[in-house]
């Protein structure tokens, strides 16, 4: 079974996907973490042009590890969540060479297992035939507040909100695989729901499909 969970930054898709995968015994693939990991490595190495990225990716090994991603044997966990990573990922994730390389990985990883994959384009591009597609939305203020609480940075609320606004714009306006619900996605507004309520709603949708 394939489950796609998409939505904007801070919509809670990764936490919900992780919890549901654990309950169901499915593999969870956080595609945002994949984009972040490549962005960290490429920006550290100062590689920005598509040709050079393509050469680098031809020699890159990416593995999912608990809580993060391993690139060429180096574990990346905290490195994925820095403000710099937030900025850099917007640049790298709009490049065709990066998206194509990851698309291939994402499809391979999901071919042999029951999977819950979360991201921006899972229902529209990566798994267009997923058994269930969910698109989570919430107001930008709620998403920023959740992020601020989660990371213990309440004083930074205004900066976090500004970053969410910036990423919403970049993610939904980019030419390749922009953020948008698939025609057959179930849209859930989580603004007034807590984590358990969202989990319960999606769990019920999964049961209906099984």
Minimum separation from the CB atom of position 207 to ligand DC (A): 26
Tokens of 104: 């291939």
For residues 2-31, one letter each, b for 16 or more C-beta atoms within 10 angstroms of the residue's C-beta and e for the rest, the string is bbbbbbbbbbbbbbbbebbbeebebebbbb
Minimum separation from the CB atom of position 56 to ligand DC (A): 18
Question: Based on CB atoms, which residue is closest to ligand DC, 9 or 20?
Answer: 9
Question: Based on CB atoms, which residue is closest to ligand DC, 32 or 54?
Answer: 32
Question: Based on CB atoms, which residue is closest to ligand DC, 14 or 199?
Answer: 14
- Find the distance separating the first CA and the last CA of the chain, reported in whole Å: 8
Tokens of 115: 């999977």
- The length of the chain is 210
Minimum separation from the CB atom of position 3 to ligand DC (A): 14
Alpha helices in the chain (DSSP H): 13-24, 31-44, 50-58, 83-92, 96-111, 140-150, 157-173, 195-209
Minimum separation from the CB atom of position 60 to ligand DC (A): 17
Question: Based on CB atoms, which residue is closest to ligand DC, 105 or 208?
Answer: 105
Residues that bind ligand DC in the complex, under the rule CB under 6 A: 9, 31-32, 35-36, 89-90, 93, 119-121, 167, 171
């Amino acid at each position: 079974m394939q489950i796609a969970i998409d939505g904007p930054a801070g919509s809670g898709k990764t936490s919900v996907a992780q919890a549901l995968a654990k309950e169901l015994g499915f593999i969870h693939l956080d595609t945002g973490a994949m984009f972040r990991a490549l962005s960290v490595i490429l920006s550290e190495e100062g590689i920005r042009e598509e040709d050079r990225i393509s050469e680098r990716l031809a020699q890159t090994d990416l593995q999912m590890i608990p809580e993060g991603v391993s690139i060429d044997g180096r574990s990346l966990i905290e490195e994925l969540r820095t403000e710099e990573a937030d900025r850099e990922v917007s640049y790298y994730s709009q490049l065709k060479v990066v998206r194509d390389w990851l698309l291939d990985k994402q499809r391979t990883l999901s071919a042999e297992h029951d999977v819950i994959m979360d991201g921006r384009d899972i229902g529209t591009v990566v798994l267009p035939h997923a058994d269930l597609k969910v698109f989570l939305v919430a107001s930008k203020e709620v998403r920023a507040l959740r992020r601020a609480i989660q990371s213990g940075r309440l004083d930074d609320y205004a900066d976090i909100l500004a970053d969410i606004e910036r990423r919403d714009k970049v993610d939904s306006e980019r030419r390749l695989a922009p953020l948008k619900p698939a025609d057959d996605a179930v849209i859930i507004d989580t603004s007034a729901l807590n984590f358990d309520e969202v989990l319960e709603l999606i769990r019920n949708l999964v049961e209906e499909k099984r």
